[in-house]
Amino acid sequence: MPAADTTDRIEGPVSTEVQTTTYAKAIAAAIRTAMQDDERVFMAGEDIGIYGGAFGVTDGLLEEFGEQRIRDTPISEDAIVGMAVGAAITGTRPIVEMQFSDFVVNAMDPLVNQAAKLHFMYGGNVEVPMVLRLPGGAGTGAAAQHSQSLEAWFAHVPGLKVVAPSTVQDAHDLLFAALLDPNPVVVVEHKLLYKREGELVARATAGDSPATIGDAVVLREGTDLTVASYSLNTHKALEAAEQLAAEGTEVEVVDLRTLRPLDTETVIDSVSRTGKLLVTHEAPAAVGIGAEVVAAVAGSRAFDYLLAPIVRVCGRENPIPYAPGLEKATIPQTEDLVEAMRALAAEDV
Amino acid sequence: MPRLDPSEPKGAIEALTAMWTIRRFEEALEDLYSRGMLHGTNHLSIGQEAVAVGACGALDEGDFITSTHRGHGHSIAHGADPELMFAELLGRDTGYCGGRGGSMHIADVGAGNLGANGIVAGSMTLSVGAALSQHLLGSSAVVLCFFGDGATNEGSFHEALNLAAVWQLPVVFVCENNQYGMSMASDLSTAGDSVAARGTAYGLEGVQLDGNDLPAMFEGVANAVAAAREGHGPALLEAITYRYRGHSKSDRNLYRTQEEIEQWRTERDPIARFEARLLDEGAVDQEAIDTARQAARERIRDAVKAAVKAPEPSVDVLEEAVYASR
């Protein structure tokens, strides 16, 4: 049932023309449209109501949709996610905002043992259409328990889907795709992306979103080497590629967008053309998403085209520290990528 | 309206038949296991039948249950077909979960059974969400959440009770206190006076029930269900009961005495007590009781016969089974 006309109360993007807005507002616009279109959609999370969410994503939604559908919860991550699973299997479509992605560790049972398993384990007689938004990542001086990039944990679990949009448009479109999916979808959102501006064509309905879960995209074409990344690091890769271009090296940047299911074909195709691969993410390299990308390439037809060893530029193998210099040193910076790309480009072929 | 009324002869016989069906079902599992026909593990609720039948009998059509690793009784009491349950436990394609779930994961969501759960307290927060969705969808359905005494020391127990209480959702939490976790006695693991007493912390009147007294179980749950349906929020009930069998197949019963088990069996067996009561009150005669017992035996025998003939699932199903598609 469509909600009443609330156009005059909507802040942020409503136009379906191209406009410039932030990643956070693009997410909010998608939530707003989905809630107007489908009364089964509701939100739950800590301080998402009057406070507007720790990062302001849900600002104004309480006024617009009321406390029945924008539900402030106690600080009970286990119950929030478990509740969402129970709601999803009985006819509603919860969107849960985890205040910081780190806190989802308190909800691993409902996410991994329940949400990911029920459809399979109950013989397909139930669906778990829920969306779990996880603000993660470092760079805010919040230290070890508020800065992690845990996406590989979730991508490791059959039954979950994981998306990690980097652009404003994809943040908007993939949220719709997540909502339309009959499975639990984890949306990895880097905190430093929320205020980042970009172009957005706001969709009039969820069904207008062209994004599909499981499709990577080539954001920049190049012939000399391929960089695969996602979320914030995609932007760092694009910035680094820009610098390399000034030096005459053309870098192709693949934005993975979805981490499970992983679109390895787009990377394999790119590497088959460039012959060189660099993978970058903020999470530690060990047992990370990058390792999966590298394994896929090494085990594919692209192996025969490789002209140099594959390079990973990832987070250091330590918890995120507090001191600015230590935090910066822990996560890959654009200059680190420039250096690594330059070295890879110079590998003698 | 509760779908069962054990104070009437018809309802009493239905309840008795259901309890016998559960007991015969689980005895048949023991038999299949001893003959090497059943693999994996299972957890038997023999001795606890009145909790499942009394509680589920107090529900109306359209209400939901969530269940536990010791959940065969809950499923049968909520209307599951024993043949499809046997098929599931035997790992057959025709089982409730196509052989993918087994003993700990029987579910029939369309029929309101949101599923047995292998994680202790795992279904407690799910029950809160199911109640919330019913509230949001304008339904008057109630969710009955079964859990064991062991679950009450999980964080999920406390988070679920708190959330259901602050949101005043229609969840009836039914603790099956069968005295032990796997081996640890409830009074050694659980601080405070009782599970029911923990309700006070969440503004709920915790109520202890004799879980081996079918009419008492029924009445206690029916009251809580009616209150929840009328919008008075959740309830916490503690059913005192006992499991005769070990926790699972590996249990050597080292943590309790044979005398203790025998005492519960001979003095407090829920089926024997209910039969004696019905005869004593003259509600039904011995012939009706014998007929109920026989009906359960035959139903289980037929169900096993049919289930063992069912085909095993094809490995081909696995690839498409992980994700729902639309």
What is the pLDDT, as a whole number, of residue A15? 62
Axis crossing angle, helix B286-308 with helix B82-89, rounded to the nearest 10: 40
Set of chain B residues whose Cβ sits within 8 Å of the Cβ of A86? 66, 114, 125-133
State the residue for tokens 């003698």.
A348
Confidence of residue B303 (pLDDT cuts 50, 70, 90): very high
Contact A20, A201 (CB under 8 A): no
State whether residue A212 sits within 8 Å of chain B by CB: no
Cα A213 to Cα A97: distance, rounded to the nearest angstrom: 19
The pTM (predicted TM-score) of the whole model is: 0.96
Which of A40, A76, A82 comes nearest B129 by C-beta?
A: A82
pLDDT at A312 over 50: yes
pLDDT, tens digit, for every residue of A191-230? 999 999 999 999 999 999 999 999 999 999 999 999 999 9
Are residues A113 and B119, on separate chains, in Cβ contact within 8 Å? yes
Cα(A337)–Cα(B17) distance, rounded to whole angstroms?
72
Residue range B222-276, pLDDT digits in tens: 999 999 999 999 999 999 999 999 988 888 899 999 999 999 999 999 999 999 9
Contact B126 A89 (CB under 8 A): yes
Half-sphere exposure of A115 (CA within 13 A, CB side): 35
Q: Tell me, yes or no, if B168 comes closer than 8 A to chain A by beta carbon.
A: no
> How many angstroms away from the CA of A219 is the closest CA of chain B?
28
On chain B, the residues whose CB falls within 8 A of the CB of A91 are 133, 137
Residue A131, classed as helix, strand or coil, is strand
Hey, are the CB atoms on B114 and A119 less than 8 Å from each other?
no
Q: Which of A39, A38, A56, A34 is nearest to A47 (CA)?
A: A56
B155, closest residue in chain A (CA to CA): A78
Residue A326, sorted as left (phi over 0), alpha (psi -120 to 50) or beta, turns out to be alpha
Angle between helices B286-308 and B9-34 (to 10 degrees): 40
Q: Give the pair of three-digit tokens for residue B294.
A: 């026989």
A159 contacts chain B (CB < 8 A): yes
Q: Confirm if A279 and A294 have CB atoms less than 8 A apart.
A: yes
Residues 124..143 of B with a Cβ closer than 8 Å to A: which?
A: 124-134, 136-137
For A260, the closest chain B residue by CA position comes to: B323
* Nearest neighbour of A78 by CB, restricted to B130, B156, B323: B156
Q: Could you report the per-residue pLDDT of B76-134, keeping only the tens digit for each?
A: 999 999 999 999 999 999 999 999 999 999 999 989 999 999 999 999 999 999 999 99
Q: How confident is the model at residue B14 (pLDDT cuts 50, 70, 90)?
A: very high
B135 vs A92: CA distance, rounded Å: 10
The residues of A assigned a catalytic role are 77, 146
Compare all CA atoms of chain A with the CA of B98 and give the residue at the minimum distance: A123
Residues of A in contact with B136 (CB under 8 A): 40, 42, 68-69, 87, 92
Q: Sketch the domain layout of chain A as residue ranges.
A: 16-208, 217-346
What confidence score (pLDDT) does residue B249 get?
Answer: 81
Compute the distance between CA of residue B202 and CA of residue B179 in angstroms, rounded to an integer. Answer: 23
Measuring CA to CA, which residue among A152, A150, A153, A205 is closest to residue A179?
A205
- Distance CA(B99)–CA(B88), nearest Å, equals 5
d(Cα A204, Cα A29) in Å, to the nearest integer? 10
Cα gap B312→B92, rounded to integer Å = 4
Contact B101 A123 (CB under 8 A): yes
Residues 6+ apart with CB under 8 A from B180: B149, B186, B243, B247, B255, B256
Q: Can you name the CATH fold of A217-346?
A: Rossmann fold (3.40.50)
Q: For B118-175, how does the pLDDT look when each residue is reduced to its tens digit (9 = 90+)?
A: 999 999 999 999 999 999 999 999 999 999 999 999 999 999 999 999 999 999 999 9
The pair of structure tokens assigned to B82 is 């024993």
Which domains are present in chain B? 9-312 (3.40.50.970)
How many pairs of residues across A and B have Cβ atoms under 8 Å apart? 153
Confidence at B41, pLDDT banded by 50, 70, 90: confident
**Is A7 near chain B, with CB under 8 Å?**
no
Helix (H, G, I), strand (E, B) or coil at A332: coil
Nearest Cα of chain A lies from the Cα of B306 at a distance, in angstroms, of 20
Which B-chain residues 86-115 have CB contacts (< 8 A) with chain A? 95-101, 105, 107-110, 114-115
Helix or strand (DSSP H, E) at B90: none
Give the number of residues written for chain A.
349
Please report the residues numbered 256 through 315 in chain A whose beta carbons come closer than 8 angstroms to any beta carbon of chain B.
Answer: none
Residue with tokens 């929030």: A80
Q: Helix, strand, coil % (nearest 5) of chain A?
A: 40, 20, 40
A84 part of contact set with chain B, CB < 8 Å: yes
User: Mind telling me how many Å the CA of B261 is from chain A's nearest CA?
Assistant: 34
In CATH terms, are A16-208 and A217-346 the same topology? Answer: yes
Cis preceding-peptide flag for A261 (omega within 30 of 0) = yes
- Judged by a CB distance cut-off of 8 A, whether residue B5 touches chain A is no
Q: Which CATH code for domain A16-208?
A: 3.40.50.970
Q: What pairs with residue B209 in β-bridges?
A: B239
Q: How far is B59 from chain A (nearest CA, A)?
A: 17
